[in-house]
Amino acid sequence: MVMQIQDPASQRLTWYKPPLTVLVIKKVHDAQILAPFVQLVHWLVHDKSMVVFVEAAVLDDTLLAEYGDFTSVKERLMTFRASTDDLTDKIDFTICLGGDGTLLHASSLFQQSVPPVMAFHLGSLGFLTPFEFNNFQEQVMNVLEGHAALTLRSRLQCVVLRKSQDDNKDKKKPTTILVLNEVVVDRGPSPYLSNIDLFLDGKHITSVQGDGLIVSTPTGSTAYAVAAGASMIHPSVPAIMVTPICPHSLSFRPIVVPAGVELKIMPSPEARNSASVSFDGRSQLTLRPGDSLYVTTSVYPVPSICAQDQISDWFDSLAECLHWNVRKKQKQMDELSDLTHSSSDNLEELDNNHDERPSDT
């Protein structure tokens, strides 16, 4: 058999029917987002005749009343509450206004299939938000017409299995959470080192002694993982990264494992304390002795719409947001004159030093 690797450039946005519904996610508690938000929803509703969904909490912002254009469109917006309403199969695509947190929030709203996400950079870092808002009409039109590339950002499916559930004493359904960046297992408020057992497809790999462990997607490799000393992986690479946090061992380095494996993480029997687990920086839980966390790649990725293409967007973000390989260039010199002059001076100096040495007696 010949292994075939998909060309990232082949991942393009294709509409099987014209998109009619759009979910608009805005950064909360940021007054600077309000004006772009009003402009966008007004244009989508009145100019493009689309059905626009927003979170119910967005309309509670009293500052929106200052925008006259919003009054005419407010009654035409569809609202939902993330904790109670299900958006499955109701949204054609999503537009995020803010920073990377808005994309993470959009991901959390869909625990199964995720509609394509278009993210505008109106936040702090903007590593995952490649679009600029100044010409949003033209850029959204390109998306509506299907002229865009996609990056399929893999997510991790995390299942927490309690000891009581494992012993069949509790029939409650295990907690399942999908994350886009990472799941972090650490010592929480305890003063003791974490002592965590790590299994891969049922085989015990190692025991983690240190502050904790980061299990991340390629998208999350440029988040907490890179701050903990890991490498950076392009989001199209099918992989899971395992990164220790301040390990009490000089040889414990980050590793990359295939996307199809299942990781099992649990406090060691001799651990002095429980472990704390967080999912994309939220939804914190406690792992007690006997509890287990199972992590594998989800079958539901996040289709992230590219401003240019997969490669250009990622390397632009590395340079602009993380200043990857940004440094002052060496001064240019004349190779014919400066190098020749420098070489002749060095040779002449060596000859002079040789002539001045005293002879042997």
Active-site residue (options: 100, 186, 280, 291): 100
Residues in the chain: 361
**Torsion angles phi and psi, residue 245, rounded to 5:** -105, 115
CA distances from 67 to 25, 62, 64, 70, 73 (A): 18, 10, 6, 6, 11
Rounded alpha-carbon distances, angstroms, from residue 282 to 8, 103, 276: 31, 14, 11
CA torsion 228-233-236-237 (nearest 10°) is -100
CA dist., res. 238 & res. 236, Å (int): 6
| Tokens 């651990």, residue located | 271
In 3D space, the residue among 146, 52, 149, 154 whose CA is nearest the CA of residue 95 turns out to be 52
Strand partners, 196: 208, 267
- 187 near 211, Cβ under 8 Å? yes
Give phi and psi for 179, each to the nearest 5.
-125, 150
CA-based nearest residue to 186, from 201, 208, 202:
208
Give the burial string for 14-28 (b: 16+ CB within 10 Å, else e).
eeeeebebbbbbbbe
Torsion from C-alpha of 44, 50, 51, 57, nearest 10 degrees = -10
What would the two tokens of residue 85 be? Answer: 């309403």
252: Cα within 13 Å, side-chain hemisphere: 20
Q: Is 360 a catalytic residue?
A: no
The catalytic site residues sit at 100
